[in-house]
Chain A
Amino acid sequence: MRTAPFASLRSLLAISDEQAMWRVQTQDDERAFAQLVRRWEGPIQRLAARMTGDAHRGEDLAQETFARVFAKRKDYQPSGKFSTWLWRIALNLCYDELRRRQRREESSLDGMGGEAIAALEAFVAPGSPPDKSLVEQERGELVRRALLQLSESYRAVLVLRHYENLKFREIAGVLDVPEGTVKSRMAEALTQMGRLLKPMLAVEANRDLNRESQPKESLMI
């Protein structure tokens, strides 16, 4: 990747999200809109991927989010923070998607717990120890599944605070609930995640024990 010339100058001259959105709102400025997309595409994709548990759907939802931002540009209140408005639109689209999916696959969602247990069983199954990247991948997959089992309101708080690093106060603004509610939802979300991921920890401990014992066995043979 080439280093951009005048990068520091460009960052100095860069307009804020609110200024860019104001230009989009008042002048239909495409360049300002492209700038907003460039800045927020990644975070919105990640949010949507984590809310729906699907990275590809996350990309589509991020595009839908920006399409909606442009369509609803006249509704934007310049006194408010752009990111708060954007997170809210993205979250609402994620909720819509989850509801659609729930209607479509109501029965298969019930089986999600069973699926997670099956994945865990596969994880503990004896055999040659998988390499490190595979272990990481499997751990990531278990977290994804566990996260999908949380209720939407807990998941939204957890994703925004833990993964996207928003302050509790900002999350309260996005969700339009008191800050104390956000914190108690976060505590509940972490408690539930701890409970859901406990088997994973146990499995890992088992694997470590197996690894330690394996060389001894081979020596004995």
Chain B
Amino acid sequence: MNHPTREEWMSYLYDELTAEEHSSLAAHLAVCPDCKARVGDWRAARKNLDAWQVPAREGRLPLHRPLIRWAAAAALMLGIGFGAGRFATSATANAGKIRAAIEPEIRQQLRQEFVQLLRDELDKAASATLAASGEQAKHWIEDYAQALDTKRTGDNQAIRAALNNLESQRLADFVSLKKDVDTVAWWTDAGLRRARQELVQLADSTQPANYSNSPQK
């Protein structure tokens, strides 16, 4: 019997197989006691691993943490100093008792203030992110619209220039054609004149001969 490799069994245990591969391995598991025992041991180990849970203390940003710690320490020292200083002037006051009396109150107050501060800061950060995202999107749209506009203006200018070019080309062609036609007309006219002149000359030169050849009676 061909046993699946342990690498294949790992994919099986952690659901990283196709349905076909999975059912093939499951079928093998049903008939192979050796593999069943092996996979059973791995499953038991996996189950035991879950006994160790690590609670993650999220939300303690490194950017804010030192600031808050320092602020808390400073406020606590100020509070205790102020309280102790004030009550120490009284002859009957016992500094230890006073501290014991005011410390929980100050702590409570500080805790509330800092929880509020933290919340506000988180909210501010979240809404700033939201606003920044909106702002960014707006900028992108504006940039896109501007780019589109610039491109359209450019296209229009190019088309206009091409049309102007075409127009002047057409005009030049027309002028040149007209000139050619005029030249042809002039030459034709000149030719016709010359032909007529030649005909006249021919007529002039032939007529006296005819007259001279004619019988003079």
Q: Which residues of A contact B (CB under 8 A)?
A: 2, 4, 6, 9-10, 13-15, 30-31, 33-35, 37-38, 41-43, 45-46, 49-50, 55, 58-59, 63, 66-67, 136, 139-144, 147, 158, 161-163, 167-168, 180, 183-184, 186-187, 190-191, 193-194, 197, 200-201
Contacts and interface: CB of A to CB of B under 8 A. Distances in A.
Contact of B42 (A2, A4, A187): A187
A46 B133 CA distance: 30
Q: 10 closest pairs, A vs B, by CB?
A: A42-B56, A194-B45, A183-B7, A139-B51, A143-B52, A187-B6, A140-B52, A13-B133, A183-B10, A193-B45
A197 B42 contact: no
A59 B130 contact: no
Chain B interface size range = 35 or more
A144 B50 CA distance: 11
Contact of A13 (B53, B55, B125, B134): B134
A140 B54 CA distance: 9
Interface string B58-80: 11111100000000000000000
B1 interface: no
A34 B63 contact: yes
A190 B46 contact: yes
A6 B130 contact: yes
Contact of B126 (A4, A67, A136, A193): A4
Nearest to B125: A34
A205 to B, nearest CB: 12
Nearest to A1: B119
Contact of B51 (A6, A14, A143): A143
A160 to B, nearest CB: 11
